[in-house]
Amino acid sequence: MGGFRLTGAVRSVFVLFCFLISIIGAPGEQWGQITEQKAEFFAASDVADSQIELTKKWYEIAAKNWGNYGPLEFWIVGNNEVAAKTLDSKYCDIRKQKDPSIPIRHCLNRGHNFVSYAIRGNAGLNTRRNENEKWSGFIITMSAKFPGPKEEDYKSVVLHEYFHVYQHAHIHSRKRSLRESLHQQNPWWGEGGAEYMAQLLYSRQKGIRAGYLKERMERKLRSIKDLREGESIKDIPYGKRARIAYDLGAWFIAFIISKSSEEAYRVKFYKDLNSKGFEGSFVKHFGSSSKDLLDEFHNSFLKLSLEDKLKIIPSIN
Ligand SMILES: [Zn+2]
């Protein structure tokens, strides 16, 4: 067989091309573009159709308001561990179909599998976008508890997880370090945004009581007592004390929206994020550095009376 050789110049172009693909993704890739392609739904055998329908309904509300991004899969787990295990095998078959380079054993042995969701409940988003895997996309897992489908929170949690899809769809790079810096590694920014936008959108739906948003936001203020003297929410990592960053992070997003607009936060900031970076887009759209607004938030805003703090939260009728 004759060898396949590349001349120097062709090789340089080829190397540059491969490098660009590793950074920005393959040509024609739709990452970050609004798509017609709807989310796919998969559920364990013990999950009722009504729960699948409920999850679809709230996904549709989120996608209609914030744009439909993807590729997105929803995986819904019930209480039954055997059924969750069967769903895990199906999940690994789909992973293998979408990206044949993934070793199936590695997939089945993953730490946070569906059996663990059947046992512990909860919801989560797994964003797959990196330099090693071909397939990029979002995988949302919903379960039977914390929250379960009969709880009111289940609906806002679907919105919350979907807002993470929106956030990560607006970060184009496959490079982990760059993705982390644009999203911020600690939860205050990403979780605060997902939580506030989810509650805000939920509060605007038909039939939701007028005082809902203020009531939810008031409850989040309990975390102020857990904030240490001089501590910034920005420095709290995921883990035991993350709740403080989720709660007060949601307030921080409400605070910057009150100083700019919902459009500035939800649309414009994310639109400029790739080209300007986190701080560049922040300063452009919120008019100050993140440090200055965080200082003002901790030193002035959080010290206001409850009544004055609640003034920035819209009442919706
Ligand atoms: Zn979250």
Apex 90 CA angle, 86 and 96, nearest 5? 145
Rounded to two decimals, what is the model's pTM?
Answer: 0.91
Beta strand 40-43 with 124-128: parallel, antiparallel or unpaired?
unpaired
Short-list 201, 199, 164, CA closest to 183: 164
CA of 122 relative to ligand 1 center, distance in Å: 11
Q: What is the pLDDT of residues 67-84, one digit of tens each?
A: 999 999 999 999 999 999
Residue 65 confidence class, pLDDT cut points 50, 70, 90: very high
CA of 119 relative to ligand 1 center, distance in Å: 20
Q: Which residue has the higher pLDDT, 2 or 192?
A: 192
Apex 249 CA angle, 31 and 291, nearest 5? 90
CA of 1 relative to ligand 1 center, distance in Å: 54
Q: Is 207 left (phi over 0), alpha (psi -120 to 50) or beta?
A: left
CA of 193 relative to ligand 1 center, distance in Å: 9
Residue 204 has pLDDT above 80, yes or no: yes
Q: How many CA atoms lie within 13 A of 293 on its CB side?
A: 22
Q: What is the pLDDT of residues 27-38, one digit of tens each?
A: 456 899 999 999
CA of 14 relative to ligand 1 center, distance in Å: 39
CA of 158 relative to ligand 1 center, distance in Å: 10
CA of 244 relative to ligand 1 center, distance in Å: 13
State percent of the chain over pLDDT 70.
91
Tell me, rounded to whole angstroms, the distance of Cα 56 from its chain centroid.
17
